[in-house]
Amino acid sequence: MMSNIAEGITLFFSLSNFLAITVGVLVGVTVGAIPGLTATMAVALALPFTFSLDPITGILLLIGIYKGGIFGGSITAILVKAPGTPAAACTILDGYPMARKGKAGKALKIALYSSCTADLISNLALIFLAGTIASFALKFGPPEYFWLIAFSLTIVISISGSSLMKGLMSGTLGILVSTIGLDLVYGTQRFTFDNFNLMGGVSYIPLLIGLFAIPEVIDFYVQKIMPIAVKGADRSRVSMPEFIKCLPTIIRGSFIGVIIGAIPGTGATAAAFLSYGEAKRVSSHPEKFGTGEIVGVAASESGNNGVAGATLIPLLALGIPGDVVTAVILGAFMLHGLTPGPLLFQDNITIIYAIFAGIMLSSLVLLVAGSLAIRHFAKIADIPRHILLPSVLLFCVFGSYAVQNQMFDVLMMFAFGLLGFVMTRIGMASAPFLIGFILGPLFEDNLRRSYLISEDISIFFRSWICWFFIAAVALSLFMGLRREWLAAKAAKSRASSAHSDGI
């Protein structure tokens, strides 16, 4: 075994492999920072360039783009409230308020440190626990997925803002929007209004951009008072006590990301929100979340970056792609005559170890590339807002159009932008809407698949995994509702006290 590891590391140590990782991460960070251009899109566009490359070099290039893209999305999410990638949507909740307070540099740096730490933990999990985690992931059938998604949906309680009822309404609306399109089982139309553009459902990128970025543009032009400027190039740093304070959250978020990433079909966005929800749930000051809490940024970025290495676990160990990006990477393996799965470890173990060496190096490259990106991209927020916001709007239109090359997606972006603006004005949080939209199809799909397998309701209680998540759902609901009840009781007590003082 040691000889295979040594041979694999020797195989990795070449200038082309180092360049592939470096260029991949830099490209990923740059593309990820542009709203609408996702890591998936960047990896797919880069795939043809790997044809003439060595298998290890080509695969490392794609992995570098993937890892850089996941972090890159946080840059514009923090600076201009326009998530570069879907996985960065959760980072907005505390990252943008920090930037509004003049702490953009601190928010960007904790995002980078959290991303690199989570990426390293995820890579170690890939290398040492691939077989164990992959075999555990195989035990998940539709009922187990159903309860996992049900548990994830309880995050809505944690991110509902000041009003739980408005948060639940927002989440329900997101679930309803997710049902638009053709029924996956019967093929019938749902809420399409006979518009063929809606038969494939609402596109994710236009909805994401519209919900978070467009309200900022609208708000800028309707306000009579100039909004607070974001200081992007501030010199605020993350102190060691602050990093130590965030470290338990980063580690917890990393493991949440590893678990979610190892289960095919869930994704980095869900992991980020789940990590954020758990951080808020265990915090002694949950009321600070959403107002510019550094731990909130750490939770989000550790969750989504913890997925990056873990999605390769089912790909390499079982030949099953963990998400859309790893499906593209699977294509790269196949193009180079490599078939991921158990036989890959048996027939091409040295190539696997060479890829592992490159993946470990990617965390260090991400730290360096991310630091450079922060230094230059942070200057975006110093641009006067009457120039910056029209530019952001231009990128939003471009990003929405680039998804399917049709103007209908641009119109949908503006429609959801108007909806997001109205929700902001009435105090309804947008994050529960996004959670409902993301998890709604997975929830419905696994519910219906379970009933197709067995029309007996007992299928939802068939394994210890089901019972574990049932208990987690019950505990999460109890803790969330209890916290809301205590907060309402405290507010009522303060109001009574103020009334008494007034008398």
Residue 337 φ/ψ region, left for φ over 0, alpha for ψ in the -120 to 50 degree band, beta for the rest: left
Spatial contact of 218 and 83, defined as CB atoms under 8 Å apart? no
Beta strand 181-182 pairing with 189-190? antiparallel
Q: Give 192: exposed, middle or buried? Use CB within 10 Å, 0-12, 13-18, 19+.
A: middle
Token code pair at residue 36: 């609408």
Report d(CA 364, CA 368) in Å as an integer: 7
Amino acid identity, position 271 = A
Token code pair at residue 477: 């609901």
Q: Which residue has the higher pLDDT, 392 or 65?
A: 65
Spatial contact of 35 and 83, defined as CB atoms under 8 Å apart? yes
- pLDDT at position 139 over 90: no
pLDDT at 489: 76
Q: Which long-range contacts (CB under 8 A, 24 or more apart) does 39-42 make?
A: 39/65, 39/66, 39/68, 39/69, 39/70, 39/72, 39/73, 39/85, 39/87, 39/325, 40/324, 40/325, 40/328, 41/402, 42/69
- pLDDT at position 156 over 90: no
Of the pLDDT bands very low, low, confident and very high (cuts 50, 70, 90), residue 114 is very high
Q: Which residues of 273-288 are buried (b: 16+ CB within 10 A; e: fewer)?
A: bbbbbbbbbebeebee
Q: How does pLDDT run across 325-348, given as a tens digit for each residue?
A: 777 787 788 778 887 776 777 777
Mean pLDDT lowest for which of 288-302, 462-476, 486-500? 486-500
Domain limits, the chain: 2-502
Mean pLDDT of 236-251: 87
Q: Which residue has the higher pLDDT, 7 or 273?
A: 273
Q: How does pLDDT run across 179-220, given as a tens digit for each residue?
A: 888 887 777 888 888 888 888 888 877 887 788 778 877 877
User: In this prediction, what percent of the chain has a pLDDT beyond 70?
Assistant: 87
**Residues linked to residue 396 through DSSP beta bridges, in sequence order:** none
Of the pLDDT bands very low, low, confident and very high (cuts 50, 70, 90), residue 485 is confident
- pLDDT at position 40 over 70: yes
Q: Which residues of 411-446 are buried (b: 16+ CB within 10 A; e: fewer)?
A: ebbbebbebbbebbeeebbbbbbbbbbbbbbbbbbb
Amino acid identity, position 75 = I
Of the pLDDT bands very low, low, confident and very high (cuts 50, 70, 90), residue 385 is low
Spatial contact of 299 and 276, defined as CB atoms under 8 Å apart? yes
Of the pLDDT bands very low, low, confident and very high (cuts 50, 70, 90), residue 251 is very high
Mean pLDDT lowest for which of 226-240, 322-336, 382-396, 417-431? 226-240
Report d(CA 21, CA 61) in Å as an integer: 5
**Residues linked to residue 182 through DSSP beta bridges, in sequence order:** 189
- pLDDT at position 64 over 50: yes
Of the pLDDT bands very low, low, confident and very high (cuts 50, 70, 90), residue 113 is very high
Would you list the DSSP string of 70-85?
A: HHHHHHHHHHHS--SS
pLDDT at 249: 93
- pLDDT at position 423 over 70: yes
- pLDDT at position 503 over 70: no
Task: Give the global pTM.
Answer: 0.74
Token code pair at residue 465: 């995994």
pLDDT at 102: 81
- pLDDT at position 159 over 70: no
Would you list the DSSP string of 371-419?
A: HHHHHHHGGGGGS-HHHHHHHHHHHHHHHHHHHHT-HHHHHHHHHHHHH
- pLDDT at position 472 over 60: yes
Spatial contact of 295 and 283, defined as CB atoms under 8 Å apart? yes
pLDDT at 247: 92
